[in-house]
């Protein structure tokens, strides 16, 4: 079943039928949108994912997902990201994907000489599933905004981001 962002409960407490106040927590106002797909290859939590553009049946295009990849093998279509895997999955298994909202994203190694600061715009880069700093020269869309610093010299790491809705 598809998730809905139409109804949001923004209060921190609710009153029960008996008149007592009960804390409801932040999850009730979480604005993330999450959907379930079928992995078409092994996918790890934090990988950017893309649809199966080469599917032969029209409905299958948005059923299966691969790791997003800006530079795939010859004969494979560019795999533009539309979300990030919340869970890992083996080929053929269900994978939960964040379409929009807060999520941990695999951010590529940082060798720029400075930290990637908060607010850095991210897009899929050369390594399948990884996000990197957005470049105006790339045809890939910005897919996330960094909300946790990626230190200089660090290898690819899961970083807190806001995923920008693409689908």
Residue 102 has pLDDT above 50, yes or no: yes
- The pLDDT of residue 163 is 96
- Structure-block tokens of residue 32: 């993330």
Residue 149 has pLDDT above 70, yes or no: yes
pLDDT band for position 4 (cuts 50, 70, 90): low
SS (H, E, C) 2-49: CCCCCCCCCCCEEECCCCCEEECCHHHHCCCEEEEEEECCCECCCCEE
User: Phi then psi for 27, rounded to 5 degrees?
Assistant: -60, -25
Q: What is the pTM of this model?
A: 0.82
- The pLDDT of residue 42 is 97
The CATH superfamily assigned to 33-163 is: Head decoration protein D (2.40.300.10)
Q: What average pLDDT does the chain have?
A: 84
* CA distances (Å), origin 66, targets 34, 38, 133: 17, 9, 21
Between CA 3 and CA 28 the distance in angstroms is 13
Residue 44 has pLDDT above 90, yes or no: yes
- The pLDDT of residue 74 is 78
Q: What is the DSSP string of 65-114?
A: EEE-BSS--TTS--B---EEESS-B-TTSEEEEEEEEEEEEEEPP--SSS
| Other Cβ atoms closer than 10 A to 35 | 18
Selected residue with higher pLDDT from 14 and 44: 44
pLDDT band for position 1 (cuts 50, 70, 90): very low
């Amino acid at each position: 079943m598809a998730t809905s962002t139409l109804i949001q409960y923004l209060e921190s407490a609710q009153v029960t039928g008996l008149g007592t106040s009960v804390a409801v927590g932040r999850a009730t106002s979480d604005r993330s949108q999450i959907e379930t797909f079928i992995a078409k290859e092994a996918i790890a939590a934090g990988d950017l994912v893309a649809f199966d553009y080469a599917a032969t049946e029209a409905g299958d295009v948005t059923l299966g997902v691969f790791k997003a990849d800006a530079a795939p093998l010859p004969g494979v279509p560019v795999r533009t990201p539309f979300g990030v895997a919340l869970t890992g999955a083996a080929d053929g298994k269900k994978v939960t994907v964040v379409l929009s909202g807060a999520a941990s994203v695999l951010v590529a190694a940082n060798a720029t000489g400075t930290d990637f600061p908060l607010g850095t715009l991210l897009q899929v880069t050369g390594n399948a599933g990884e996000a990197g700093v957005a470049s105006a020269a790339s045809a890939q869309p910005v897919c996330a905004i960094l909300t946790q610093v990626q230190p200089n010299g660090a290898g690819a790491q899961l970083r807190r981001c806001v995923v920008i809705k693409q689908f």
